[in-house]
Chain A
């Protein structure tokens, strides 16, 4: 077996062509596998609690009531004939805020919100989210956490 190595270095010989093709196919395959892996890694379903959940009849909430749904991280409040659903996820870095005498306090970095979720003390820069409420045919109220509202987005109860 004699190979002209000087020629191999300079030209696209048959040997170099086959080698180049092989490595190209290998690289393409590797890129394809990488793409498939990225798609596989991307979650198609979420395993958390559903974003819509029932909070019971409006009559369960007397005027001035405040009830926490800790699994859903939602606080339901009633002022007069208005019912509101406030997110308990801090707008700073996502810790769960706790109801306090002045409203809601975040245990992680000390952010404070008033009773309707308006920020009163940093480091948070924004008010707590409110969620949309709707009436189900059964007469129960439903909170939809994908329907994000601003402060005082009350649902009026007759």
Chain B
């Protein structure tokens, strides 16, 4: 792949004799306005330079570092890392696997949204239609389902890896807290997505889940023992807030849908960005040198 990155020549540009209409056009432009001809010739170079702001073949250490600093996609990676961080069985790539699964879930989820309708009359039939009458609907639904299940596993094993390599210790203790929040959000996204097919499994799973929340009256029961404090029945309050009613119905479906496709993914993405940024600020991934045996 030869990328033309020659510096623009000083002095008058040379109008090479082109063939046919293209040559006629270039010569006409050169005769009428040499500076326009010059600018057009430099356009590819200028475009490349404006996007990458660096040379395609960096020669020095400094140029190699600049190539990373000046590219949005590359700057997420550190310009230099320790050798052990490249060893696959130090991290097993579990953090990146979780992130890739999140991207896969976002793409497949957005595509599924084109055919899904969050209404009690239509939701189940739309899910069946995805399996039977939408091209590639079944593999898309399968991708979403299995990515979701695998993501919970990947995030869990990522936490295990972080624990066993001591990466939760200072200075990375705040990133561990964000990581726990990300794990909880992953679980809640799984729970909210569980209702959307609107089949028997979904209905009764959310009924049971909401009733578990409804049983959490411990705090308000004990507060009610203080004279003068009324019993607030916090569990029932939480259950009603989750379902938007007493039983799983249209209100619960639209609540879970909005949480699943808009609110929770937004929070998750925001926390992922902070999670990645903190890795760099905390000095890259943990090193065995930091906690000698």
Contacts and interface: CB of A to CB of B under 8 A. Distances in A.
Given A5-B59, A9-B57, A45-B129, A40 B111 contact: yes
Interface string A59-94: 000000000000000000000000000000000000
A16 B2 contact: yes
Interface string A1-43: 0010100111000001001100100000000000011011110
Given A39-B135, A44-B135, A9 B111 contact: no
Given A10-B2, A20-B1, A23-B1, A40 B134 contact: yes
Contact of A42 (B3, B111, B135): B135
Nearest to B129: A45
A90 to B, nearest CB: 29
Given A5-B57, A9-B57, A45-B129, A40 B1 contact: no
Contacts of B135: 39-40, 42, 44
Nearest to B111: A40
Contact of A44 (B57, B59, B114, B133): B133
Contacts of A40: 111, 134-137, 140
Contacts of A9: 2-3, 5, 57
Contact of B136 (A3, A8, A36): A36
B1 A19 contact: yes
Interface residues of A, number: 17
A32 to B, nearest CB: 12
A19 B3 CA distance: 12
A19 B56 CA distance: 13
B134 A44 contact: yes
A116 to B, nearest CB: 39
A61 to B, nearest CB: 33
26 contacts: A3-B57, A5-B59, A8-B57, A9-B2, A9-B3, A9-B5, A9-B57, A10-B2, A16-B1, A16-B2, A19-B1, A20-B1, A36-B136, A39-B135, A39-B136, A40-B111, A40-B134, A40-B135, A40-B136, A41-B114, A42-B135, A44-B133, A44-B134, A44-B135, A45-B129, A45-B133
For the complex of A and B, list the 3 residue pairs with the smallest distance between their C-beta atoms, beginning with the closest: A5-B57, A45-B133, A39-B135
